[in-house]
Amino acid sequence: METTFRLPGEIVRPFSSRAGVRCRGNSQLLQRALVDFGAEESFGKASVRVREHYGIVVPAGNIRRTTLEHGARMGAAEAPAGDERDPAACIVAQLDGSMVPIVTVPPAAEGDPADGRKRRELSYNEARLAVARESTQERPFVAATMGSVDAIGDGLLEAAQRAGLGPGTIVHGVGDGIPWVRNQMLRIFADHEIRFTVDFYHLSEYLAEASKVCAPQAPDAWFSSQKLRMLNDQTGEVIAALKPYREPEDVLDVDAPVRAAHRYLSNRPGQFQYAEARAKKLPIGSGEVEGGHRSVYQKRIDVSGAWWTVENADAMLQLRAARHNSDWEDYWTRDTCQDMAA
């Protein structure tokens, strides 16, 4: 017969000890189910699904707390070790940002209502996403953050390393014309040959607006002609076609589409090598990272009626990115957490 010794006043819970869960806590298996549901839809709907599939009632607040805590832990965890393989010949790397709804509650000042809900301030902050893949593969590794441009740059480097970045790897970077995107790629890939290409479809928006001034009688034909020139690496010819129609400097930028297009092309020499990229079957558009906005986090974060603190949004970003990178099983296998209070 097994004898259990205990201190006076100590409560012995044999089931809790054997099952790995403390009173009013969630077992790790239950936590995994809660996070699985909470990562895909609202915490209220997740509570309904838990009751439907497991026959137990778990409050939405419990699911929220559990999901976000594990999301933060996933972001802090080291990436799984990759398989030993030869370095990739070429890596496709993309960066972009997208706005998400954020709520803040400033400290109460004298005369302010005590209820924090009445003091909350709503705004939009930029969530940043990075994708990297070997050029011959389809599925990329991703990184996401609510942090700085340096933070997402570091995330892109980690994603590229998981995709096969090695000493001799060439990096084909694609992004829109926002300076921080190219600057981060130049920073983190400073030891590699990097060829940065401006997103062709973003460039096309500038040419489309300019066409209405340069060829008001036939804007579509002019637009198509300039796009074909750009695809054939005839950037100089397009700049020359824009130059005679530039608006005077005293015209506001918003009313000067030709000047904007001319400046956009002139200020980015060597970033429109579309013919070479297409010949090598490399992308000239940043559709992968833009699609990633939708699939990685907008589907869960940017939903009607949802507002997040920066910390909670970042935790959900880490969780969604980890699931996209197929790190889910690895996390639950190696994570040392046992249970969290309900």
CA-CA distance, 92 to 174, in Å (whole number)? Answer: 8
Average pLDDT over residues 317-341: 80
Average pLDDT over residues 199-209: 96
Residue 144: beta bridge partners?
A: 129
Sign of CA dihedral 182, 71, 330, 300: negative
User: What percent of the chain is modeled with pLDDT above 70?
Assistant: 88
pLDDT score for 18: 58
| 238 pLDDT higher than 50 | yes
pTM of the predicted model as reported, rounded to 2 decimal places: 0.86
- The domains of the chain are located at 23-77+330-341, 90-105+118-198+285-321, 202-266
CA-CA distance, 164 to 88, in Å (whole number)? Answer: 5
Sign of CA dihedral 138, 139, 141, 143: positive
User: pLDDT for 143-152, tens place per residue?
Assistant: 999 999 999 9
| 5 pLDDT higher than 60 | no
CA-CA distance, 153 to 163, in Å (whole number)? Answer: 15
Q: Are 319 and 125 in contact (CB under 8 A)?
A: no
User: pLDDT for 321-330, tens place per residue?
Assistant: 999 999 999 9
pLDDT score for 1: 46
The beta-strand segments (E) located in the chain are 25-26, 90-104, 121-134, 141-145, 170-175, 193-198, 340-341
Q: What is the CATH number of domain 90-105+118-198+285-321?
A: 3.30.420
| 239 pLDDT higher than 70 | yes
**CB neighbour list of residue 222: distance below 8 Å, 6 or more residues apart:** 211, 214, 215
User: pLDDT for 208-224, tens place per residue?
Assistant: 999 999 999 999 999 99
Query: Higher pLDDT residue, 173 or 79?
Result: 173
**CB neighbour list of residue 181: distance below 8 Å, 6 or more residues apart:** 95, 96, 175
